[in-house]
Amino acid sequence: MTGKVVTYLSLLFLSLSAFIVAEEPFRTYSTPQGKKFEGKAVGYEGQVFILSNRDGALFKVPFNALSSTDKTYLIQAVQQNRIPKGVPAVSPTPSHTSSSDSTGLKGVDFATQIAPILQERCNDCHKAPYEKNGRTMKPKAGLRFDTYELLMRGNDDGPVIAAGDIEGSILFEVITLPPDDDMIMPPKGDPLTSAQIDLFRRWILEGAAQKPTGKVVAAQTESEASSETEQKKGDGVEYRPEKKAKAAFRKGSFFAHVVVPLGVSPDEALAKAEGAKPKPGEPIDFDRHVLPILEERCNDCHHAPFDRSGRLVNPKASLRFDSFSEVMKGNLDGPVIVAKEPENSRLYTVMNLPEDNDLFMPPKGGPVDSEQIDIIKRWIVEGANPSKNSVSSTKGGIPASDEPVSFTDHILPLFESRCLECHGAPYVKNGRTIKPKAGLRLDEFEWVIKGNLDGTIVTAEDPEGSALHRVITLPDDDPEIMPPKGDPLSKDQITMIKRWILEGASERPAAVAADPNAAPKPKKTETASTDVDAQESFLDVLAKRASLPSKGQLIAAEKSGALVTQLAERYPLVRAEFSSFASDIDDSALAAFGNIKNNISHLDMSRTKISDQAMTSAGSFPNLTWLSVRNTKVTDNGLRSLSSLQHLRYLNLSGTQVTDKGANSLSSMKMLEEIYLWDSKVTEKGVAALRQALPEAKILF
């Protein structure tokens, strides 16, 4: 009965409007560029006129795009009320269609009933490619609805219309989605009216043919669909809008697929999409139980900031509910979660407000399912813990000593605060690409492990061998200490990094925490080197008898023209050698060594102009072990002064004037290990005698 009334009213409205508004005639419009087209103005909206062509199809023409003659004409027409304001609700169709539609005697006609809707609501996007600003604009999704054939063809993914099957017709599915669904079509403006949707429904059910078939499907009017609700309202029952269901897609539908993010197993994604429900008694897991609810009901507004057509869209109220840490962070007004206290947790309380309260959340789509609210409540009561396997409670801080270090939760936050300024991803500044320093990036696990071109910075289980650990443990004043700016890392932070390395330096936390104070594994080289050093120990024995020479003493000694160098760092014994301008050196030079007599263990006077007098000085250096007077004028007389040297092991007399007599004077020096007599005046006989006296020594002749 109600249906009839509505039909009657609409008929009345049509006839009334025909009376009130004098219909515009078809005329030829033109643009300033001279383009001409025929049409009949049927309405206007702001600066845009809606014209109808002879087929009844509507198209929009911006007022400014018309020639001045047309502008004047249209202004007059509007002033004379010849053109109604607004867009005609239904395309003005020839009256016979209208009547046949209302009587339902004939099937839906594509050309007169479907095409105009497509033309009006779809063809802005789904039309023939065209040029705009020199670019070819292609139809969106590769779909064109400007002819019947193209509509039926669909796109590469297949047809969008399945004749006789509204459930299989994607086109029908998208126009019937809830208005806030991402996929609803048309994406702009209001959804299609229920009358328009019904036309599609009937047309598809009738076979989606170009010309009406014999088959006729009864119309289902909006009033019919909503009559029940209306009735309830009329009956005085409290009106409560139906909780708008999350778009429920038919199983297997094009849109019903579950998005599987990278790195997530499909099962996990599916479970999440279906909102895995905790079993009774099962502790609530944030990632598995809570996050899906937040994602479904909150993340539309409380999302991570994102960029929409050049504008940064920030989350509402600065609240983000897209991860555990963000949920716990709250906003400037404080946290929204207080562990174990649901009544103080704003996230929970706003869901339980009366719905007409301004602060009731979510503001759209009806209240959260009571079961879901219960999950959130249970989660808070249980302590609002992070998901077991994902995030540490000490994220961003220092893990407890028995908690294995997590790269994501402990190491990376530290890197973020102290290292990424220099060792982050490359970025562009003033048109220049700023690369990470030393080619080293620390912003992702892979980069940290990769190190840079010079090799890795982390060696698992070997903190001492890891450059990362080394540079943070340098003394404060070392120029290479990292970070170079600000305070050095705290002891705890260093221990944390050390532990992470000891635990295997992997992305996932190790099973067991390592003891940072455990003795490092002994290294082969260290033990071996002590063996080698042991052989040098006779020098060390001598070294104990001398005190470290001061810098001043060394400089004074160098006045002689010699280079005076310590045998090793902070080593008392020194080597003095006249290596440069040796030919300018004479006996007087050794006077400069007075202050370091006890320190000289090696003395090289080869190729100088010294004489036997210098040997007297050399004989007064008690710790002398190595003496070379090669290629000098030294004679037998000089050797006599050496007899007091208790530790002389190396004596180079090659190229000197020493004779058998001098060689003989060496026989008493049992410490001598090497004697070089080549090119001296010593004869074979002398050498033989010396060899007999010093059988252990190596005597080269």
Partner 1 sequence: MMTNFEKVDELGRREFISHAAKSCLGVGLMPMAGSYIHNSVKALTPGSRPAAARHVIYLNMAGAMSHLDTFGPKPNNPDIQGPVESIPTSADGVILSENLPKTAQHMHNASIIKTMVSSQGAHQQASYLMHTSYLQRGTIVHPTFGSWVAKLSGEINRTIPMNVKIGGGGGGAGFLEAKYGALPIGNPKQGLANSKMASYLDDTKFGSRIAMTEKLNENFATQYPQKQVRAYSDLYRDAVKLMKSDDLNAFDITQEPESMTELYGASNFGQGCLLARRLIENKVRYVEVTRGGWDTHNDNFNAVANNCLDIDKALSGLLLDLEMRGLLKETMVVLTSEFGRTPNINGRDGRDHWPYCFTAFLAGGGIKGGVSYGETDDRGRSPVEGKPIKPEDLNATIAYALGLPLNDVQYSPSGRPFTVAHNGEPLFDVLA
Could you tell me the smallest distance in angstroms from the CB atom of residue 309 to partner 1?
40
- In single-letter form, the type of residue at position 86 comes to G
Single residue of 223, 299, 331, 452 touching partner 1 by CB under 8 A? 452
Q: How far apart are CA 419 and CA 196, in angstroms?
A: 60
Say which residues have a Cβ less than 8 Å from residue 203's Cβ, sequence separation at least 6: 107, 108, 110, 113, 114
Single residue of 190, 358, 480, 487 touching partner 1 by CB under 8 A? 480
Single residue of 91, 169, 196, 654 touching partner 1 by CB under 8 A? 654
Q: How far apart are CA 171 and CA 154, in angstroms?
A: 9
Residue 441: closest CA among 427, 456, 423, 453: 423
Q: Tell me if 632 contacts partner 1 by CB under 8 A.
A: no
Q: How far apart are CA 648 and CA 626, in angstroms?
A: 6
Q: Which stretch binds partner 1 (CB under 8 A): 101-109, 143-151, 285-293, 571-579?
A: 571-579
Single residue of 8, 13, 306, 678 touching partner 1 by CB under 8 A? 678
218 vs 528, beta carbon nearer partner 1: 528
DSSP-assigned letter for residue 698: E
Q: How far apart are CA 346 and CA 638, in angstroms?
A: 99
Residue 170: closest CA among 145, 147, 193, 135: 145
11 vs 474, beta carbon nearer partner 1: 474
Give the Å distances, CA to CA, from 434 to 288, 438, 468, 485.
40, 12, 22, 18
Give the Å distances, CA to CA, from 257 to 168, 183, 249, 633.
15, 13, 9, 100
Q: How far apart are CA 488 and CA 486, in angstroms?
A: 7
Single residue of 73, 249, 360, 650 touching partner 1 by CB under 8 A? 650
Burial degree of 93 (CB within 10 A; 0-12, 13-18, 19+) = middle
Single residue of 320, 441, 469, 630 touching partner 1 by CB under 8 A? 630
DSSP per position, 467-491 = HHHHHHSS-TT-TT-SSSSSSPPPH
Tell me if 480 sits within 8 A of 470, measured CB to CB: no
| SS3 state of residue 429 | strand
Could you tell me the smallest distance in angstroms from the CB atom of residue 474 to partner 1?
10
The angle, 0 to 180 degrees and rounded to 10, between the axes of the packed helices 2-20 and 95-103 is 170
Q: Which stretch binds partner 1 (CB under 8 A): 33-41, 255-263, 271-279, 562-570?
A: 562-570
Could you tell me the smallest distance in angstroms from the CB atom of residue 686 to partner 1?
17
Could you tell me the smallest distance in angstroms from the CB atom of residue 597 to partner 1?
18
Q: Within 13 Å, how many C-alpha atoms sit on residue 108's CB side?
A: 25
DSSP-assigned letter for residue 222: H
33 vs 527, beta carbon nearer partner 1: 527
Q: Which stretch binds partner 1 (CB under 8 A): 295-303, 565-573, 590-598, 634-642?
A: 565-573
Question: How far apart are the two ends of the chain, measured CA to CA in Å?
Answer: 136
Q: Which stretch binds partner 1 (CB under 8 A): 26-34, 120-128, 272-280, 581-589?
A: 581-589
Interface of this chain with partner 1, residues 119 to 158, rule: CB under 8 A: none
Tell me if 328 sits within 8 A of 384, measured CB to CB: yes
Residue 30: closest CA among 72, 1, 2: 72
34 vs 552, beta carbon nearer partner 1: 552
Binding mask 387-406 vs partner 1 (x if CB under 8 A, - otherwise)?
--------------------
Print burial letters for 146-171: b (CB count within 10 Å at least 16), e (below 16): bebebbbebbeeebbbbbeebebbbb
Could you tell me the smallest distance in angstroms from the CB atom of residue 680 to partner 1?
11
Sign of the CA dihedral with 15 first, then 21, 26, and 32 last: negative
What are the E-state strand segments in 122-213? 130-132, 135-137
Could you tell me the smallest distance in angstroms from the CB atom of residue 540 to partner 1?
9
Could you tell me the smallest distance in angstroms from the CB atom of residue 452 to partner 1?
7
Could you tell me the smallest distance in angstroms from the CB atom of residue 432 to partner 1?
15
Could you tell me the smallest distance in angstroms from the CB atom of residue 456 to partner 1?
10
Task: Classify strands 674-676 and 650-652 as parallel, antiparallel or unpaired.
Answer: parallel
Q: Tell me if 453 contacts partner 1 by CB under 8 A.
A: yes
Binding mask 588-627 vs partner 1 (x if CB under 8 A, - otherwise)?
------------------xx--------------------
Residue 439 has phi, psi (to 5 degrees) of: 65, 25
Q: Tell me if 193 contacts partner 1 by CB under 8 A.
A: no
Single residue of 565, 595, 598, 611 touching partner 1 by CB under 8 A? 565
Single residue of 227, 583, 588, 643 touching partner 1 by CB under 8 A? 583
Q: Which stretch binds partner 1 (CB under 8 A): 165-173, 366-374, 411-419, 453-461?
A: 453-461
Q: Tell me if 421 contacts partner 1 by CB under 8 A.
A: no
92 vs 451, beta carbon nearer partner 1: 451
60 vs 607, beta carbon nearer partner 1: 607
Single residue of 363, 439, 520, 594 touching partner 1 by CB under 8 A? 439
Could you tell me the smallest distance in angstroms from the CB atom of residue 697 to partner 1?
13
Total number of residues that touch partner 1 (CB under 8 A) = 50
Could you tell me the smallest distance in angstroms from the CB atom of residue 585 to partner 1?
11
Could you tell me the smallest distance in angstroms from the CB atom of residue 580 to partner 1?
4
Q: Tell me if 554 contacts partner 1 by CB under 8 A.
A: yes
What are the E-state strand segments in 12-134? 27-30, 36-45, 48-52, 58-62, 130-132
Single residue of 304, 568, 643, 685 touching partner 1 by CB under 8 A? 568
Single residue of 419, 458, 472, 582 touching partner 1 by CB under 8 A? 582
Q: How far apart are CA 319 and CA 46, in angstroms?
A: 38
Interface of this chain with partner 1, residues 46 to 85, rule: CB under 8 A: none
Tell me if 48 sits within 8 A of 63, measured CB to CB: yes
Could you tell me the smallest distance in angstroms from the CB atom of residue 552 to partner 1?
9
Q: Tell me if 567 contacts partner 1 by CB under 8 A.
A: yes
Binding mask 508-547 vs partner 1 (x if CB under 8 A, - otherwise)?
----------------xx--xx-xxx-xx--x--------
103 vs 527, beta carbon nearer partner 1: 527
Q: Tell me if 433 contacts partner 1 by CB under 8 A.
A: no
250 vs 435, beta carbon nearer partner 1: 435
Single residue of 60, 437, 633, 661 touching partner 1 by CB under 8 A? 437
378 vs 607, beta carbon nearer partner 1: 607
Give the Å distances, CA to CA, from 445 to 368, 415, 636.
38, 11, 73
Per-residue tokens: 599: 């320190």
DSSP per position, 623-639 = T--EEE-TTS---HHHH
Could you tell me the smallest distance in angstroms from the CB atom of residue 554 to partner 1?
5
Single residue of 177, 571, 633, 671 touching partner 1 by CB under 8 A? 571
Q: Note if the bond before 483 is cis, omega within 30 degrees.
A: yes
Positions that interact with partner 1 (CB under 8 A): 437-439, 452-455, 467, 480, 524-525, 528-529, 531-533, 535-536, 539, 551, 554-555, 558, 563-569, 571, 573, 577, 579-583, 606-607, 628, 630, 650, 652, 654, 674, 676, 678-679, 700
